[in-house]
Structure 1
Amino acid sequence: MVYIPPLNFAPVVSTEVSLYRSGYPMPLNYAFIADQLHLRTIIYVGDKELSEDYNEFLTQHNIQYHFVHMNSCRDKNVQEQMDKVLRLIVDRANYPILIHSNKGKHRVGVVVGIIRKLLQGWSTTGIYQEYDIFSGGLKGQVDLEFITMFDTELIVRRDHLPDFVKWER
Structure 2
Amino acid sequence: MTVYVPPLNFSLVEDGIYRSGHPVPINFPFLQTLNLKTVIYLGDKTDNFEYYKFLKSMNINFVYIHMESSSEPFIMNDPDAIIQALKLIINIENYPILIHSNKGKHRIGVLVGIMRKLLQGWSMTGIFNEYDKFAGGKGDSDIEFIEVFQTELEGSLQKLPSFVRLDH
TM-score by length of 1: 0.92
Partner of 2:51: 54
Tell me how far apart the structure 2 counterparts of residues 108 and 135 of structure 1 sit (CA, whole Å): 10
Q: In structure 2, give the amino acid aligned to 1:143.
A: D
Partner of 1:68: 65
Tell me how far apart the structure 1 counterparts of residues 131 and 49 of structure 2 sit (CA, whole Å): 31
Tell me how far apart the structure 1 counterparts of residues 77 and 121 of structure 2 sit (CA, whole Å): 25
Partner of 2:95: 95
Question: Does structure 1 conserve the Cα–Cα contact (< 8 Å) formed by 2:68 and 2:77?
Answer: no
Tell me how far apart the structure 2 counterparts of residues 46 and 96 of structure 1 sit (CA, whole Å): 20
Give me the identity figure in percent: 52
SS of the residue 1:37 aligns to:
coil
Question: Does structure 1 conserve the Cα–Cα contact (< 8 Å) formed by 2:77 and 2:145?
Answer: no
How many residue pairs were aligned? 164
Give structure 1 stretches of 5+ with no counterpart.
none
Q: In structure 2, give the amino acid aligned to 1:80.
A: D
Partner of 1:5: 6
Partner of 1:150: 149
Partner of 2:86: 86
Partner of 1:105: 105
Q: In structure 1, give the amino acid aligned to 2:153.
A: L
Alignment of 1:97-136 (within 5 A): 97-136=97-136
Q: In structure 2, give the amino acid aligned to 1:132.
A: D
SS of the residue 1:49 aligns to:
coil
Q: In structure 2, give the amino acid aligned to 1:79.
A: P
Q: In structure 1, give the amino acid aligned to 2:145.
A: F
Shift of 1:167: 3.2
Tell me how far apart the structure 1 counterparts of residues 156 and 75 of structure 2 sit (CA, whole Å): 28
Find the partner of 1:26 among 24, 27, 40: 24
Partner of 2:37: 40
Task: Compare 115-124 and 18-27 and name the one that shifted more.
Answer: 115-124
1:66-123: CA deviation from partner (whole Å, max 9, x where unpaired):
0111114575782221111011000000000000000000000000101111111111
Question: Does structure 1 conserve the Cα–Cα contact (< 8 Å) formed by 2:36 and 2:60?
Answer: yes
Find out whether 1:163 has 2:158 as its counterpart: no
Question: Does structure 2 conserve the Cα–Cα contact (< 8 Å) formed by 1:118 and 1:167?
Answer: no
Q: In structure 1, give the amino acid aligned to 2:142.
A: D
Root-mean-square deviation (CA), in Å?
Answer: 1.6
